[in-house]
């Protein structure tokens, strides 16, 4: 008879333990729901290169002006582009290579342009600037494989760059 009761007692014990863990714990506090708040549309007004002359391969700083959150695409005029995003105003760094310069170009002028994207709009005529790129050794300088040194800096949080 004890043979029958031992497995039965063990089965009942397992069932009780399983039922105790299957029940959810009672809630003592209600957690607030997370609310997603879209960024207010930004307004891009202008940008400038400082300085407007740079040696190929060295970083050139662009200052983007306006207000609000903006996504911007900076086309360097050299065939490359970089995406910047953040709270305006902010600064972005772009590096010009020698890939679009011929082996005889000691310097070349590029027209850099910035285009707002997404929830950002442009107000103002200054969406292009001229940048003079100096090639210190025009003969024998190899073309860069890719421009990947683009960075962004700002005193405001939430600034990202997507090269």
Q: Has residue 161 got a pLDDT over 60?
A: no
**Cα 132 from Cα 102, distance rounded (Å):** 15
Question: How confident is the model over 105-111, as a mean pLDDT?
Answer: 90
Residue 133: CA count within 13 A, CB half-sphere? 27
Helix (H) or strand (E) holding 50: strand 42-50
Cα radius of gyration rounded to whole Å, the chain? 30
CATH topology of domain 42-162: Immunoglobulin-like (2.60.40)
Q: What is the pLDDT of residues 17-48, one digit of tens each?
A: 555 544 555 555 555 666 655 556 789 998 99
The domain segmentation of the chain, as residue ranges, is: 42-162
Q: Has residue 99 got a pLDDT over 70?
A: yes
**Cα 112 from Cα 63, distance rounded (Å):** 12
pLDDT of residue 137: 78
Q: What is the pLDDT of residues 111-157, one digit of tens each?
A: 999 999 888 888 765 578 999 999 887 775 454 444 444 455 554 44
Question: Apex CA 82: angle with CA 121 and CA 73, to 5°?
Answer: 15
Question: How confident is the model over 49-63, as a mean pLDDT?
Answer: 91
């Amino acid at each position: 008879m004890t043979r029958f009761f031992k497995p039965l007692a063990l089965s009942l014990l397992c069932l009780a333990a399983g039922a105790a863990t299957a029940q959810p714990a009672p809630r003592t506090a209600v957690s607030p729901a997370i609310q997603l708040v879209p960024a207010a549309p930004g307004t891009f007004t202008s940008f400038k290169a400082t300085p407007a002359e740079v040696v190929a391969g060295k970083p050139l700083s662009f200052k983007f002006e306006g207000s609000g959150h903006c996504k911007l695409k900076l086309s360097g005029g050299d065939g490359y582009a970089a995406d910047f995003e953040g709270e305006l105003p902010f600064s972005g760094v772009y590096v010009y290579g020698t890939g679009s310069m011929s082996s005889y170009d000691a310097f070349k002028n590029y027209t850099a342009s910035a285009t707002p994207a997404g929830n950002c709009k442009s107000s103002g005529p200054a969406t292009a600037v001229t940048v003079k790129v100096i090639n210190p050794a025009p003969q024998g300088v190899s073309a860069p494989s890719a421009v990947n040194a683009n960075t962004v800096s700002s005193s405001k949080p939430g600034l990202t760059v997507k090269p």
